[in-house]
Structure 1
Amino acid sequence: MAARQPKIPGPDHPITVEKTGRRVVVRVGETVLADTTGALTLQEANYPAVQYVPLADIDSKVLTASTTQTYCPYKGDASYYTISLPDGELTDAVWFYPEPYDSVADIAGHAAFYTDRVDVVVDSR
């Protein structure tokens, strides 16, 4: 297998990572999975902005490591967690980059959630 060549964000595929600067709460129903003021907003090209929440601010009791892995040429190798709740599991609903590429290094130690499976609310204040 050939070595993967990271792609560098640029004018044709911009990526920015900035401090969100507001409270971010992640829920499934009434269950709060994360509540943080330390989130980062990653904006990639024309995709919707993604909130990356510090792993330390996510309730680790609801996370189960998954064997799923994916690759992004701009961010690197992603690993996943399944959210395990009393009324069921949300398989691979959380992803993170254990060793993100240099251009997005700030997201190390942070995880993101699929917003079609959980509610991610950024405080409007």
Structure 2
Amino acid sequence: MTDRPRKQPGPDHPITVTPTGERVVVVVAGRVVADTDNALSLREATYPAVPYVPLADVDRTLLERTGTRTYCPYKGEASYYSIPLGGERSVDAVWEYPAPYDAVAQIKDHVAFYPDRVDSITIG
């Protein structure tokens, strides 16, 4: 892990984390998996903003940790959860950075959801 590149956000690859300022609700198979007024929006370079929901506002009984891991040189190592009630579509639907790099430290104890692996992510 120490041989992985570690990069700082900057003008060529900006990353900002700000309060979303709106309610975020995530639904899978008719069940509310997450409901919060405290989400953070992570904007990275030219990618669309991603809402990060506090784990405290997620129904963790609906999540199942998987062995999947990925690495981002700007954010750190991500781990994943599936949402079994969503079936195959919801495998590895949720990710978190348990020990995010300093530039995105605010997303610690937050998770994000792949929009195509849940029924809906409503913001507003």
Scaled by the length of structure 1, what TM-score is found? 0.92
Residue of structure 1 in register with 2:10 after alignment: 10
Unmatched 5+ stretches in structure 2: none
Residue of structure 1 in register with 2:39 after alignment: 39
Native 8 Å contact 2:66 2:80 kept in 1 = yes
Residue of structure 1 in register with 2:75 after alignment: 75
Write the distance in 2 (CA, Å) between the matches of 1:88 and 1:26: 16
Unmatched 5+ stretches in structure 1: none
Structure with the larger helix share: 2
Scaled by the length of structure 2, what TM-score is found? 0.93
1:2/1:18 CA distance change after superposition, 3 Å: closer
Equivalenced residue count is 122
Write the distance in 2 (CA, Å) between the matches of 1:40 and 1:74: 17
AA at the equivalent of 2:109: G
Deviations 1:8-52 (A, max 9, x none): 000000000001111100012421111000100000000011000
Deviations 1:74-107 (A, max 9, x none): 000000001011x625110000000000000000
Residue of structure 2 in register with 1:103 after alignment: 103
Residue of structure 2 in register with 1:121 after alignment: 122
1:14-33 correspondence runs (5 A): 14-33=14-33
